[in-house]
Amino acid sequence: MAKAKQVHSFKADVDAYFDRAAELTTYPKGLLEQIRTCNLVLHIAFPLPSKRGYEVIHAWRAEHSHHKMPVKGGIRYSPLVNEDEVIALASLMTYKCAIVDVPFGGAKGGVKIDPRRYTEGELQRITRRFTTELAKKKFLDPAVDVPAPDVGTGAREMGWIYDTYNTLNPGMMDVEGVVTGKPISIGGIHGRTEATGQGVVFAAREACNVREDMRARGMTKGLPGKRVVVQGLGNVGYHAAKLFHEADAKVIAIAEYEGAIFNKDGLDPVKVAEHRKETGSILDYPEAEPYEGPPLEIDCDILVPAAIESVIHKENAANIRAKVVIEAANGPVTREADEILREKNVLVVPDIYANAGGVTVSYFEWLKNLSHVRFGRMTQKHEEAMLHTLVESIERKTGKYFTPEERKMIMRGADELTLVISGLDQTMMESYAAIRETMLATEGVPDLRTAAFILAIDKIARNYLELGIFP
């Protein structure tokens, strides 16, 4: 009898990364097991009536850690969703929040559907029913569990979640804080849509600004001029590609499920996305040529897998020609592939840091919702008045005058978007420095991923110890 093919386990990879890092710490075994274990998993099944008849929809919500409250994590709509994946993603959220100093525990949700197969009305019914089930089981509350967008969901679905929860909880003062990634009109925050992609580019910038790490891979310091390949033109991939382009890196290839396009002189991601919206495909984009080979194996400086997990595995890892891999998706590199890439001297910037921009800005949105005031509202005009006084003083004392354009730029007070981007930038910069410092300071740490897990374990363990839960 033929041996059944073993299915790759995303959760097993995450647990193995954790175990490798845990061995390099001195915390008690029981404490480490508590940090690693998923606390709660809810599996929901409900019927969807449609013209096609009745269909049973399966969905999950995992709350990995309650060492900080509320727990936080996206909800994805994908036919690949399963319990193993949801638990793995929830655990990554726990570690991710710790690394970037966001005071949340980790969670994740998933609905096992292909959203492209359903009408908007059907998607709304699925979302509202899932929201109701989560609320009934106490898996949804501004102080307990706060979802966000993920693969296959966006501001529209988050708006439906907010509206459903608001209907179920009339008069709740902090109801806007029940979900993040909402439309601006119902408590969303400027910069959330592009936050994960923006964080990916900040992560790449920090990695490329370490001269010795770049020199070790035959590259110069900095992002400008770097050849970038982006796999996935969804929300994260699109904004990452767009921002790499604006940072003067060359996006030489973009891949989607229909194929890949290539231009050695660089692509404009905005034009590519507009063309795909008009035609339904990137393949006939006039300023590029279709790429026939595996797009992940294109010769480049920076490879950005921004779609789904496990796209770089033991069968193709040896063929990766990138010098740096930025994990924009969750778990795009399997454990076996990770070891191969390390042997090839490829610098892998891990997902638990690289794609933390989304949860960081979600934290800002949650704070905005609880404080009931837009960031910058009480400070912007005051800052502008102070800067106006400063500019006039400089002009009087020097006799040199700024142009109207220069005055406008200098005297502009920080609005919400400016503050959000600034806060995200600072977070990604400080977190990368802490990860790299951990890697250099801890004996036996082979890479940034292990260092990131050690950093997360240390922060979570200290929280438990300070609470007096463990002796």
Q: Tokens 């706060």 map to which residue?
A: 146
- Residue 102's contacts (CB-CB under 8 Å, 6 or more residues apart) are 72, 96, 356, 359, 360, 363
Task: Report d(CA 33, CA 41) in Å as an integer.
Answer: 17
Query: Peptide bond preceding 290: is omega within 30 degrees of 0, i.e. cis?
Result: no
Task: Report d(CA 117, CA 127) in Å as an integer.
Answer: 15
Across the beta sheet with 40-50, what order do the strands follow? 40-50, 53-63, 105-111, 71-77, 145-149
Beta strand ranges found along 186-338 (DSSP E): 227-231, 250-256, 259-262, 289-291, 302-305, 324-326
Task: Report d(CA 444, CA 451) in Å as an integer.
Answer: 10
Q: Looking at residue 285, what DSSP letter applies? A: -
Establish how many alpha carbons lie within 13 A of residue 212's alpha carbon, considering only the half-sphere containing its beta carbon: 2
Q: 108 pairs with which residues across the strands?
A: 62
Q: Which of 11, 68, 96, 108 is catalytic?
A: 108
Which SS3 state, helix, strand or coil, does residue 234 take? coil
Q: Looking at residue 116, what DSSP letter applies? A: G
Has 108 been annotated as catalytic? yes
Q: Looking at residue 338, what DSSP letter applies? A: H
Q: Tokens 């200290």 map to which residue?
A: 462
How far, in Å, are 32, 93, 156, 188, 467 from residue 463 at the CA level?
12, 16, 36, 30, 6
Residue 71 and residue 179 in contact, taking contact as beta carbons nearer than 8 Å: no
Which SS3 state, helix, strand or coil, does residue 41 take? strand
Residue 310 and residue 331 in contact, taking contact as beta carbons nearer than 8 Å: yes
Active-site amino acid positions: 108
